[in-house]
Amino acid sequence: MKLPYLLCLTMTFSALAAADDSVPERVAVNIVIDDFHAAAAAGNRSEYLGLMTDDGVFLGTDEWERWPKQPEFTDYVDAAFKDGTGWTFAPVERTIAFSAAGDTAWFDEVVVSEQYGRFRGTGVLSREDGQWRIAHYALSFLILNENWDEVSALTRKTLEAKKQ
């Protein structure tokens, strides 16, 4: 199980090295994001929250889900991970960019949940005391353009029902 992962990581590192001179930082940012997803899948509260900045924010898929790390998101994660499980989003593609100063990175990724399908994650990382931390993460459903009318109608119907 670890050999294919290491082979993939080595191939990714080699490909990035040929294309970009910020490879060590790109690899470090990838590791933080991958560890964030792995900690969520394992229900590892301390590692998951530890990968975020103290003033980090998580945006969920519902319009009201804007979770500042303290205290709302921490409370949510405490409840969600209490039995040692969390949620699993496996990344299938990711793009990372860096500020000119090199102390901020932003990314977008497509992640897959076996239960719910494909999502887009976007985020910002800050380097604090030499360590990359997630300052902002937003998760949204990917909706195929050909399904947009149907999904929009369903959303409008649900919002109207909530008003009553």
* pLDDT tens, position by position, 20-30: 556 899 999 99
Q: What is the CATH number of domain 2-163?
A: 3.10.450.50
pLDDT in tens, 102-115: 999 999 999 999 99
User: Helix 2-19 and helix 23-42: axis angle, to 10°?
Assistant: 150
Cβ contacts of 3 within 8 Å, gap of 6 or more: none
With a cut of 80, say whether residue 4 has pLDDT above it: no
**1 band by pLDDT with thresholds 50, 70 and 90:** very low
pLDDT of residue 23: 80
Token reading at 74: 């921490």
Confidence of residue 18 (pLDDT cuts 50, 70, 90): very low
Beta bridge partners of 137: 58, 123
> Side chain identity at 121, as an amino acid letter?
G
pTM of the predicted model over 0.85: no
- Please write the tens of the pLDDT for every residue from 19-61: 455 689 999 999 999 999 999 999 999 999 999 999 999 999 9
- Distinct helix (H) and strand (E) counts, the chain: 5, 6
* Bridge partners (DSSP) listed for residue 126: 104, 133
Secondary structure class of 157 (helix, strand, coil): helix
Q: What is the tens place of the pLDDT at every residue in 134-156?
A: 999 999 999 999 999 999 999 89
**Could you state, in order of their start, the residue ranges of all structural domains in the chain?**
2-163
